[in-house]
């Protein structure tokens, strides 16, 4: 029986997952995968809870959100892949001396598609001594709309992920002011499933973790062009040069983990942002939301990267 694996949305920062699919990593470990997409990012965990899918990849944010709205649920993260925040701030002019407090006097357009980017950024602002509610912030437009607004001079700074950042740079319409990855490990993307699934299909999920661990090692060694080539079929609308630039930036920012083991510090940093932003309270403890047993077993095996 196949594992029904769900993506929450299509994004370049999920590149290792697409590499694993494209290069047959799961099949090589003897796991049959049925790959599906969630109709909406916010439905991803709910589809796991109602049995529509077996395993999701997405943010630990969704795991904590589900515990918040469904106390006693049994979802756990079991293999980390994106270990740093992939979002960036771009302004219309170069600003090499940028500090987060500069946003106090800027017209800022933030991500509306998913909550994590703003929740993490607002926590950065709080740590810098600013009140996020005091910003001149546009919060209800898409990243594509915000890119157009930056080009039109309607806003000063936009919060986007790749490939929007590289697109703005290619057009000489935007300059990177801040890469959220620089704040340090922030648990951003993982495999997650219900505890019953992990217990009942442990061998299959162990094989999935082996596949993603070997993929992580391949990605760590591969160049941006190799990664872009591997995932190109999932981003057919993107020009090759743009996809390569996006992969190169994420390689440089080290957003992709080289091991599926979840670090506590990255999880706690994410949790702090969700709590300070009022998204969850008090947030799900690491021991409840994370099961590293599969990842630790695989890490100890010392597997080689994908061929």
pLDDT tens by residue, 39-61: 888 889 989 999 999 999 999 99
Per residue in 3-49, pLDDT (tens digit) is 999 999 999 999 999 999 999 999 999 999 999 999 888 889 989 99
Dihedral-angle region of residue 278 (phi above 0 means left; psi in -120 to 50 means alpha; beta otherwise): left
Residues 6 or more apart in contact with residue 301 via CB below 8 angstroms = 210
Say if residues 183 and 72 touch (Cβ distance below 8 Å): no
Closest by CA to 190, choosing from 121, 122, 270, is 270
pLDDT on residue 275:
98
Q: Is the peptide bond before 212 cis (omega within 30 degrees of 0)?
A: no
Q: What is the mean pLDDT of residues 176-185?
A: 97
Dig out the tokens for 138 from the structure.
């546009």
Q: List all residues 6 or more positions away from 307 whose beta carbon is below 8 Å from its beta carbon.
A: none
Q: For 175, list phi and psi in degrees, rounded to 5.
A: -135, 135
Q: Residue 178 is encoded by which pair of tokens?
A: 């801040």
Mean pLDDT of the region 143-151: 98
Q: CB neighbours of 79 closer than 8 A, spacing ≥ 6?
A: 190, 191, 208, 209, 212, 213, 260, 262, 294, 295
Q: Give the domains, in start order, of the chain with CATH numbers.
A: 3-84+185-301 (3.40.190.10), 88-183 (3.40.190.10)
pLDDT at 165: 98
**Residue 210 pLDDT:** 98
Q: Read off the tokens for 234.
A: 């999932």
CA distance 17 to 144: 24
> Would you call 191 helix, strand, or coil by DSSP?
strand
Q: pLDDT value at position 1?
A: 75
Report helix, strand or coil for 75: strand
How many CA atoms within 13 Å lie on the side-chain side of 205? Answer: 27
Q: Which positions ≥6 away from 47 have C-beta within 8 Å?
A: 6, 38, 53, 56
CA distances from 11 to 28, 147, 172 (A): 24, 17, 23
Question: In the numeric block, which tokens belong to residue 152?
Answer: 């039109």
pTM of the complete model:
0.96
At 208-235, the pLDDT tens digits run 999 999 999 999 999 999 999 999 999 9
According to the model, what pLDDT value does residue 72 have?
84
Task: Give pLDDT, residue 211.
Answer: 98
- Helix count and strand count (H, E) for the chain: 14, 10
Average pLDDT, the chain: 97
Please write the tens of the pLDDT for every residue from 79-128: 999 999 999 999 999 999 999 999 999 999 999 999 999 999 999 999 99
Instruction: Determine the pLDDT at residue 269.
Output: 98
Q: What is the pLDDT of residue 170?
A: 96
Question: Average pLDDT, stretch 279-288?
Answer: 97
């Amino acid at each position: 029986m196949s594992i029904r694996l769900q993506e929450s949305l299509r994004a370049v920062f999920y590149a290792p997952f697409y590499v694993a699919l494209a290069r047959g990593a799961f099949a090589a470990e003897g796991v049959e995968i049925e790959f599906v997409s969630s109709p909406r990012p916010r439905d991803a965990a709910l589809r796991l809870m109602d049995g529509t899918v077996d395993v999701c990849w997405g943010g630990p944010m969704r795991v904590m959100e589900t515990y918040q709205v469904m106390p006693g649920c049994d979802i756990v993260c079991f293999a980390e892949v994106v270990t740093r925040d992939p979002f960036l701030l771009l302004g219309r002019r170069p600003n090499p001396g940028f500090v987060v407090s500069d946003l106090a006097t800027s017209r800022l357009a933030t991500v509306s598609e998913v909550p994590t980017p703003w929740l993490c950024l607002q926590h950065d602002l709080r740590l810098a001594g600013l009140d996020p509610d005091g910003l001149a912030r546009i919060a209800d437009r898409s990243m594509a709309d915000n890119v157009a607004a930056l080009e039109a001079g309607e806003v000063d700074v936009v919060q986007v992920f790749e490939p929007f950042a590289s697109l703005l740079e290619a057009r000489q319409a935007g300059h990177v002011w801040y890469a959220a990855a620089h704040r340090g490990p922030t648990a951003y993307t993982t495999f997650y499933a219900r505890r019953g699934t992990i217990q009942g299909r442990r061998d299959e999920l162990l094989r999935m973790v082996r596949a993603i661990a070997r993929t992580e090692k391949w990605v760590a060694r591969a160049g941006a062009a190799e990664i872009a080539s591997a995932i190109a079929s999932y981003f057919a609308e993107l020009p090759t040069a743009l996809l390569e630039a996006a992969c190169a930036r994420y390689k440089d920012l080290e957003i992709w983990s080289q091991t599926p083991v979840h670090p506590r510090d990255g999880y706690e940093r994410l949790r702090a942002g969700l709590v300070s932003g009022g998204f969850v309270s008090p947030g799900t403890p690491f021991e409840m939301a994370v099961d590293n047993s599969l990842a630790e077993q695989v890490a100890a095996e010392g597997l080689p990267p994908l061929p």
